[in-house]
Amino acid sequence: MSREVEFKNRDRFVELGITIAALRKMRGMSQEELAEKANISRSNLSAIEAPNMVRGFSLETLYNIADALEIRPGDLLNATLLPTADKAD
């Protein structure tokens, strides 16, 4: 299975990575702690969270991260932690 992300999905993966990082920090967890709970490597989590990198990952990884953050996977995908440009102030 290819991990290459289609251009049309790049922003989605970046936003998801930023959301994961924000939730992790809100819960006071280090990357090492979240990675261990999600059963992935810290370097993989770092790549997922990095806004300047786009790395696709499996649904299993998404479910594991969501469980470790104690959030439903759908809520993780729908989380809006950062203001978007189309919202009025």
Q: What is the mean pLDDT of residues 15-35?
A: 95
Q: What is the mean pLDDT of residues 45-66?
A: 91
Q: What burial letters (b/e) apply to 61-87, b meaning 16+ CB within 10 Å?
A: bbebbbebbebeeeebeebeeeeeeee
Structure confidence at residue 11 (pLDDT): 85
Structure confidence at residue 8 (pLDDT): 76
Would you say residue 89 has pLDDT above 80?
no
Maximum CA pair distance of the chain? 42
Structure confidence at residue 51 (pLDDT): 86
| H or E segment to which residue 19 belongs | helix 10-26
Structure confidence at residue 85 (pLDDT): 45
- The amino acid occupying position 29 is M
Q: Which domains does the chain have, with CATH numbers?
A: 7-77 (1.10.260.40)
Q: 41: how many CB neighbours lie within 10 A of its CB?
A: 13
Comparing 6 with 78, the larger pLDDT belongs to 78
Would you say residue 2 has pLDDT above 70?
no
